[in-house]
Structure 1
Amino acid sequence: MQTFVTEYGWLVLLAVLVVIALVKSAVVAPNQSAYVVERLGKFHKVLYAGFHLLVPFVDVIAYRRSLKEQVLDVPKQTCITRDNVSVDIDGVLYLQIITPEKSAYGISDYEWGAIQLAQTSLRSVIGKLELDKTFEERTRINQEVVEALDAAAAPWGVKVLRYEIRDITPPVTVMEAMEKQMRAEREKRAAIAQSEGEMQARINLAEGAKAAAIAQSEGEKQSLMNQAEGQAAQIRTVATATAEGLRIVAGQLGDDPVAAAQLRLAEAYIDQFGRLAREGTSLIIPADIADAAGMVAAVSGIIKPGRGLAARPGSGEHAAS
C-alpha cells in the first residue's frame, strides 16, 4: 500500500489539480449579465450570457454587472426655490449599464455616484423655478435632471433612462397659505360662475321679452293689415255698387251720368237732414235755405215726366211733408 501511494500519489494529485482547473476555467454567465475578466491584474475581456472557458489561475472574473434596468431610490433632500422657499423633494432614478468595463473602472460605485449627481442636479433645477412652478412643471424638472445625469454618467458606461419626482413637501406655513389661496380661488370661480349664470338668465329673459314684443307687434301689424284690407274690400264693394246704381240711374235718365250723380247727391243730402231731424231733439236750420230749396228743385227737375225715372217709394211722403 505504501508502495502504491509512493508510485501513484502524484498521479492522484495531478488529477485533482486538473479537476480544479476545469472547474475554475468553466464559466456560465446568466442572461442579462456581464462578467469583467482580468488577466494577470489587467482588463482582458467581458463575458456575456453563455458558456465560457478561462485560463486557470491566470484569468479572473473581477466584476459582475447586471444589464437589466435598475431602480435607485433618491433620498429626500431640501431644495430652495427661486422665491426662497425651502421644499423637501425625493425621487426615483432609473438607469442601465451599457458598457460593463466602464462601470467597473470608470467609477468606484456608479450607483452612489448616480444618486449624488441626481440630488445636485435636482437642486440646480429647482433653484431656477418659483414654488408654484415646481408643482406645475414636474415633467420639465424630470427631463432636465435626466439630461444632466445622462451627460455626466456617460463616462461610467451608464445610461440614465428617466427620473421621477416622488413627492414635493413645502413647509407647513406655506401649505396653509397655499390652501387659503386655493380656497379663495375656488370661491372666486364660484362667484364668477354664479354672476355669469345670473347675467345669462337676464339675457335670456330680455331675449324672450324682445321676441314676445316682436311677435305681438307682428300680430298687431297683421291685424291692422287685415282690417285695412277688409275696409278696402268694403269700400271697393260699396263703390262698385254705387257705380252700378249710378249706371242704372243714368240709363233711366237717358244715359246722363251727370244727372244721375246730382240725383244721388240730392238724395243723400235729404236723407242726412231727415236722419238728423229724427234722431235729435234740436231744431236744425240750414245755413242757406236757398241751397236746400235749390237741392229740392234740382231733384224735382231731374224727376220730371218724360225722363223715364219712376218715383222712389216714399218720395211722395217727403214731398207732402
Structure 2
Amino acid sequence: MSYFFVTLVVLALVVVFSTVKVVPQQNAYVVERLGKFFAVLQPGVNFIIPFVDRVAYKHSLKETALDIPEQICITRDNVQVRVDGVIFIQIIDPQKASYGISDYRFAVSQLSQTTMRSEMGKIELDKTFEERTTINQAVVASIDEAAIGWGVKVLRYEIKNITPPQTVLNAMEKQMQAEREKRAVILESEGQKQSAINVAEGQKQKVVLESEGVRLRQINEAAGQAEAIKSVADATAESIQKIALAIQTEGGASAVQLRVAEQAVAQFGNLAKATNTLILPANFGDLSSIVASAMTVVRKVE
C-alpha cells in the first residue's frame, strides 16, 4: 500500500512539473502539440498539457555577438588581405528562428563572410581602412535582408582587423616614411623661408628707422643753426643799435674817433707780426686823416 502511494505522489509531481513551465525574462520557449507548432511561451508562469505538449526550442531574446572567423579577401587592386569581424544579432521571431532555418548562427556567419568578400572586392587596398564604416553598413544591410525570414535582426557589424601581406606592409611602411620625410623637408623649408622673410623685414625696418633718425637729426641741426644765426644777427643788430645811440650822445663822436684810431693801429700792428713785408698807405703818418675817413664811413651808415 505504501509503495502504491509513493508511486502516485511521484506521478503527481511529474505531472505538475510537466504542466507548469516558468520562462525566464528575455527568453522564449517554442511549444509543439503532438509534433506541431502550438505556441510561444512568454516570460513568467505558463501551463501546458503533459505528454501532449512539449518545449521543442528555447531561445534567448538578448543581443548576441557572433565572432566571424578570419578569411582571405581580394581587393579591387588584386591584393590579398585577411579580414575578421564580429556581428551582433537578436531574435525577434522565435517561431521563424525555430522553423525558418536549421542553424541561424551558422547561416549568419557564412553570409557575413561571403558579403565581406564581395564588399572588399569593390574597393582598393588604400581605401579599405578609411571605408570601414561603409563596409560595415553594407554587410548589415545585406545580411539583414536575408535574416528577416529566419526571425533574426542584424543590429550591427564591425570589422576587427584588416591584415595585408607582409610585403605590402613593408611597402606601406616605406611610403609612410617617405611621406614623413617629405613633410619634414617641407616644414624645414617653410621655416627657413619665414626666417629669411623676418630677417629681411627686420633689415627693412632698421634702414627705415635709421634714415628717419638721420632726417630728424638733420632737421634738428638745421633748426639749431638757423636759431643760432638768428640769435647772432639779433645780437649784432642790437649792438649796432646801441653803438648808434651812443654816438648820438655828447662826446660819442670823439669816443668813436678814438676807438677807430686804436683799432687801425692795432690792425697794422698785427699785420706787421704776420709778415716781413708791410705795405702802408701814403697818408699813414697823418693818422687824423685816416680817422676822418673812417668817421665818414660811420656817418654814412647812420
Q: TM-score range by the shorter chain?
A: 0.7 to 0.9
Say if 1:82 and 1:130, in contact at 8 Å, map to a contact too: yes
Partner of 1:318: none
Offset from partner CA, 1:129-166 (integer Å, 9 cap, x none) = 11011022222222222222222222222121221111
Output the CA distance in 1 between the equivalents of 2:192 and 2:293.
79
Output the CA distance in 1 between the equivalents of 2:9 and 2:170.
79
Question: What is the CA distance between 1:13 and its match in structure 2?
Answer: 6.2
Partner of 1:63: 57
Secondary structure, in 3 states, of the residue corresponding to 1:83? Answer: coil
- CA gap of 1:18–1:229, structure 2 versus 1, over 3 A, is same
Secondary structure, in 3 states, of the residue corresponding to 2:68? Answer: strand
1:87 corresponds, among 81, 84, 90, to: 81
Aligned AA for 2:56? A
Instruction: Tell me the matched-pair count.
Output: 271
Say if 1:31 and 1:49, in contact at 8 Å, map to a contact too: yes
Offset from partner CA, 1:218-249 (integer Å, 9 cap, x none) = 22222122212212222332343344445556
**RMSD of the alignment, in Å?**
3.3
Question: What is the CA distance between 1:300 and its match in structure 2?
Answer: 4.0
Partner of 2:253: none
Determine if the alignment matches structure 1 residue 49 to structure 2 residue 57: no
- CA gap of 1:297–1:34, structure 2 versus 1, over 3 A, is farther
Output the CA distance in 1 between the equivalents of 2:101 and 2:273.
131
Secondary structure, in 3 states, of the residue corresponding to 1:68? Answer: coil
Pairing of 1:233-312 with structure 2 (within 5 A): 233-245=227-239, 247-248=241-242, 300-304=295-299
> Structure 1: 5+ residue runs without aligned partners?
255-269, 284-295, 310-321
Aligned AA for 1:105? Y
**How high is the TM-score relative to the length of structure 1?**
0.73
Question: What is the CA distance between 1:24 and its match in structure 2?
Answer: 0.7
Offset from partner CA, 1:3-55 (integer Å, 9 cap, x none) = x69xx96x876655443221111111122211111222222221122111111
Question: What is the CA distance between 1:66 and its match in structure 2?
Answer: 0.7
1:178 corresponds, among 164, 167, 172, to: 172
Partner of 2:287: none
Output the CA distance in 1 between the equivalents of 2:193 and 2:273.
64
Output the CA distance in 2 between the equivalents of 1:192 and 1:62.
71
Percentage of pairs with the same residue: 53
Pairing of 1:50-199 with structure 2 (within 5 A): 50-199=44-193
Aligned AA for 2:114? T
Aligned AA for 1:301? T
Secondary structure, in 3 states, of the residue corresponding to 1:303? Answer: helix
Say if 1:253 and 1:308, in contact at 8 Å, map to a contact too: no
Output the CA distance in 2 between the equivalents of 1:113 and 1:42.
24
Offset from partner CA, 1:108-141 (integer Å, 9 cap, x none) = 1111111111111111211111101102222222
Output the CA distance in 2 between the equivalents of 1:192 and 1:18.
89
Output the CA distance in 2 between the equivalents of 1:148 and 1:176.
34
Output the CA distance in 2 between the equivalents of 1:111 and 1:21.
35
Secondary structure, in 3 states, of the residue corresponding to 2:129? Answer: helix
Determine if the alignment matches structure 1 residue 21 to structure 2 residue 15: yes
Offset from partner CA, 1:79-122 (integer Å, 9 cap, x none) = 11111111111111111112211211222111111111111111
**How high is the TM-score relative to the length of structure 2?**
0.77
Secondary structure, in 3 states, of the residue corresponding to 2:119? Answer: helix
Secondary structure, in 3 states, of the residue corresponding to 2:15? Answer: helix
Aligned AA for 1:89? V
Secondary structure, in 3 states, of the residue corresponding to 1:128? Answer: coil
Question: What is the CA distance between 1:278 and its match in structure 2?
Answer: 9.7
Determine if the alignment matches structure 1 residue 222 to structure 2 residue 216: yes
Secondary structure, in 3 states, of the residue corresponding to 1:75? Answer: strand
Partner of 1:286: none
Say if 1:252 and 1:308, in contact at 8 Å, map to a contact too: no
